[in-house]
């Protein structure tokens, strides 16, 4: 049975056991991330992670009880590091278009980062053989972030800045709008663009424009 965490457990994250040394935790997470991206999920053992991190196998298991829990902690840490600083600041912005632009730009920056692309490639390649890998990823990354996005839309609804009937659906829609052509080109490591070359600014502006037009407040209200 997978040891992936339930979504409600992610408020504190799928982290290591309490009382462990944070520098060893970071060394294990860094080693695991490097090995997963280089060799894939299935080919990497906890022994290899221990050697790469310069710790014992017992230390790895003392921090993370299983490989899928370790993977989940790595994803959660990466997502939390960028989302926790972004969403509170964006929520406080009165101009909803400016806030959406900032959110979309950070989503695009995160999606196009080499480490993020590497992890997505691992999930796409090995997810069918390791369902716990997919489950850990979904529960540690996309679900918590899209919950924050939905809360942002709910707050905008209350202010009358947007009219979003289904904030959860809108959170999914915004992320997929921002993915755009650049994400696919980077994921496939293409040397030439699939379509006319577009910049991050163009992708972000297009996503925000479409979203604002689709969820603009009804002038009759």
Task: List per-residue pLDDT tens for the chain, 221 residues long.
Answer: 333 333 333 333 455 554 467 889 999 999 999 999 999 999 999 999 999 999 999 999 999 999 988 988 888 877 776 666 677 677 778 899 999 999 999 899 888 988 889 888 999 998 899 888 888 888 878 888 899 899 999 999 999 999 999 999 999 999 999 988 888 888 888 876 666 667 889 999 999 999 999 999 874 44
Contacts 24+ apart (CB under 8 A), 147-152: 147/7, 147/171, 148/83, 148/87, 149/87, 149/103, 149/174, 149/175, 151/91, 152/87, 152/90, 152/91, 152/99, 152/103
For CATH 1.10.10.60, list the domain ranges present in the chain.
18-65
> How far apart (Å, rounded) are the C-alpha atoms in residues 119 and 213?
33
pLDDT reported for residue 190: 82
Domain spanning 67-221: CATH 1.10.357.10: yes
> How far apart (Å, rounded) are the C-alpha atoms in residues 180 and 104?
11
Structure tokens at 143: 């679900």
> How far apart (Å, rounded) are the C-alpha atoms in residues 56 and 125?
29
For CATH 1.10.357.10, list the domain ranges present in the chain.
67-221
Homologous superfamily of 18-65: Homeodomain-like (1.10.10.60)
Residue with tokens 């540690």: 140
Phi-psi region of 78 (alpha: psi -120 to 50; beta: other; left: phi over 0): alpha
pLDDT reported for residue 97: 94
């Amino acid at each position: 049975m997978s040891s992936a965490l339930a979504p409600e457990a992610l408020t504190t994250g799928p982290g290591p056991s309490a009382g462990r040394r944070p520098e060893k935790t970071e060394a294990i997470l860094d080693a695991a991330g490097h090995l997963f991206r280089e060799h894939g999920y299935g080919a990497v053992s906890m022994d290899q992670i221990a050697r790469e991190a310069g710790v014992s196998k017992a230390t790895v298991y003392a921090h993370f009880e299983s490989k899928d829990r370790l993977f989940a902690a790595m994803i959660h840490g990466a997502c939390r590091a960028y989302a926790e600083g972004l969403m509170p600041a964006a929520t406080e912005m009165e101009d909803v278009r400016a806030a959406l632009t900032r959110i979309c730009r950070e989503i695009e920056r995160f999606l196009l980062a080499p480490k993020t692309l590497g992890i997505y490639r691992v999930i796409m390649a090995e997810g069918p053989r390791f369902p716990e890998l997919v489950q850990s990823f979904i529960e540690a990354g996309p679900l918590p972030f899209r919950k924050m996005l939905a809360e942002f839309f709910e707050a905008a609804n209350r202010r009358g800045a947007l009219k979003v009937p289904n904030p959860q659906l809108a959170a999914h829609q915004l992320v997929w709008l921002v993915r755009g052509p650049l994400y696919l080109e980077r994921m496939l490591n293409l040397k030439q663009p699939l379509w006319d070359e577009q910049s991050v600014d163009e992708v972000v502006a297009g996503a925000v424009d479409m979203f604002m037009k689709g969820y603009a407040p009804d002038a009759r209200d």
